[in-house]
Structures are given as C-alpha cells and as structure tokens.
C-alpha cells in the first residue's frame, strides 16, 4: 500500500455503497499461485497466445491448447482462495455484494464461497465434446490429460474435447455477459481487481458501471493509467489490499 489517503478514500466509498460489484482478473489469483497472463513470467510469455490461445489454433491443432492446459490445470487444481477471494465472499454475506464478474477460469471465487459469480471467460472445470456436445467434468478431463491423453477425446464418439475456457476469437457465452451488464447498470461501486483491462468486452464494464453512476476503485499491483475510469487507484497486492477495504484491519 503506497497511499494511505487513497485507502481511506476507498474505505469511505465502500462504507457508503449499498450495491457493490467486483470485476476481477488474473491478478487476484496470483497470490494463490496461479500466474497471470501479461506480467513478466506470465502465461503469454511462456505460451504464444496466437499458437496456444486462439479458437482457430485450437481447431487446427487442439493438442497445443491441451499442452498449455495440462500445465495450468496442475496449478489450478491445487490452488486455494487467498484473502482477496475470501474478503469478497465475506462481503457477499453482508448482503452488499451484487455479484463478482470474473475473467478468471480458476473457480476460486466459488471455492471461497461466492455464489453470484459471473464467469465471462468460462471455467476450466467444464469441458464438452466438439462433435456430440456431451458435457464432461473438467477435473476428470484434466486427469486424463495429465496422464498423457492429449487431446482428450469423447468416450461416446471419439470427438475432441474442448475446455469451456473461452479462447481468443471464440464467441463468448451470451448469458454471463448479459448478467454482467445488468450488474453494471445496478451497481453503485465497482471494485476492479487484478486486471490489465486489455481484453474486451470485459474491459468496457468499468466504464459501463461509471456511466450508470457508480464509483470505481481500481486495485492493481502496478499503477494503472486508468484514472479516466477509476475514482480511486490502490496499488498493491490484492491479497493485502482487498481485505483492508472492509475489515477494521488497518
């Protein structure tokens, strides 16, 4: 925490708010051991997103995605919610949280206890067959991948299985985006936590909330040049900063 005044300002906004929302990105899960995408040493530094993370590349060679998926699943399956996730789950208990809109696929908000979680980019815990559309439980698929079945195939028809993690260029699920827009139109304070706001349409959401009259608090490890949308910018680790917004913890 670098600016105690900013924290005091943010705590006042939280205390005054009645319908808080959160928009989270990979940064909130870094302290749970899951690397983010664009920081140094992040996922896209190790896996070229054009080769491993686009829908076209998946259709062309699904084993690329599943090779990356095998590494990420190993980390996600043992990751636990950190104090930032837990603080948002505790906030839901107070009745002041409209919902958590997340770009993450790691299920850590649900694991922390949040029930109103909008997964804009899907989840690593769900997969389906590209041919017959049979649904599969992600953990079972990841075990098969860890055992070397790359790409994993449908037990019914032999089709290639696809994780429900949304890839670049893949149509986003409509339901979650509609719920996210509803939340943005209703919230009076949006906490934007651990995201570089570099991927649309998720990156539009803070401005949408602001257009509806909400205040916006941006929490990020690095400074963000988003004072166009943020009323308060708190720089620091989400697992340190987020709990200090709510509790008496100074």
Which CB sits closer to ligand APR, 1 or 157?
A: 1
Taking a C-beta distance cutoff of 8 angstroms, is the pair 191, 229 a contact? no
Pick between residue 141 and residue 192 the one whose CB is nearest to ligand APR: 192
Instruction: Tally Cβ neighbours within 10 Å of residue 8.
Output: 10
Question: Measured from the CB of residue 77, what is the shortest distance to ligand APR in angstroms?
Answer: 18
Residue pair 61/53 in contact by the 8 Å Cβ criterion: no
Tell me whether residue 128 is one of the annotated catalytic residues. Answer: no
CB atoms within 10 A of CB 9: 16
- Footprint of ligand APR on 43-82 (CB under 6 A): none
Least separation in angstroms between residue 173's CB and ligand APR is 13
Angle, helices 4-16 vs 238-246, to 10°: value is: 50
| Residue in 85, 109, 121, 142 annotated catalytic | 121
Which of 107, 190, 195, 234 is the binder for ligand APR (CB under 6 A)? 195
Closest CA to 239 of 226, 224, 220: 220
- Contact status: 237 vs ligand APR (CB under 6 A): yes
Among 220, 229, 233, 244, interactor with ligand APR by CB under 6 A: 220
Q: Which residue is nearest to ligand APR (CB)?
A: 27
Q: Which is nearer to ligand APR, 77 or 221 (CB)?
A: 221
Residue from 198, 211, 223, 249 in contact with ligand APR (CB under 6 A): 198
Give the strand pairing for 135-137 and 126-129. antiparallel
- According to CB under 6 A, which residues from 26 to 45 bind ligand APR? 26-27, 30-31, 36-39, 42
Q: Which is nearer to ligand APR, 111 or 221 (CB)?
A: 221
| Residues forming the site for ligand APR (CB under 6 A) | 25-27, 30-31, 36-39, 42, 103, 121, 194-196, 198-199, 220-222, 237-238
Q: Which residues are catalytic?
A: 121
């Amino acid at each position: 925490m670098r600016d105690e005044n900013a924290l005091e300002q943010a705590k006042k906004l939280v205390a005054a708010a009645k319908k808080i929302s959160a928009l989270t990105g990979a940064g909130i899960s870094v302290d749970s051991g899951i690397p983010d995408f664009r920081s140094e040493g992040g996922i896209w530094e190790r896996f070229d997103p054009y080769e491993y993370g686009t829908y076209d590349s998946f259709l062309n060679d699904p084993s690329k995605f599943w090779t990356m998926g095998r590494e990420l699943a190993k980390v996600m399956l043992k990751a636990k919610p950190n104090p930032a996730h837990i603080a948002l789950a505790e906030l839901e208990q107070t009745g002041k949280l409209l919902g958590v809109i997340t770009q993450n696929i790691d299920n850590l908000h649900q694991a922390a206890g949040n029930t109103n979680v909008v997964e804009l980019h899907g989840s690593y815990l769900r997969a389906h067959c590209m041919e017959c559309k049979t649904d599969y439980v992600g953990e079972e698929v990841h075990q098969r991948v860890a055992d070397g079945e790359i790409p994993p195939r449908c037990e019914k028809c032999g089709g290639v299985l696809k994780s429900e993690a949304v890839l670049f260029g893949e149509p986003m699920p409509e339901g979650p985006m509609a719920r996210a827009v509803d939340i943005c139109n209703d919230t009076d304070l949006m906490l934007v936590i651990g995201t570089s706001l570099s991927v649309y349409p998720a990156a539009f959401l803070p401005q949408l909330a602001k257009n509806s009259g909400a205040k916006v608090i941006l929490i990020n490890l690095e400074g963000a040049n988003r004072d166009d949308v943020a009323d308060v910018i708190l720089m620091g680790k989400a697992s340190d900063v987020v709990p200090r917004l709510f509790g008496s913890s100074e």
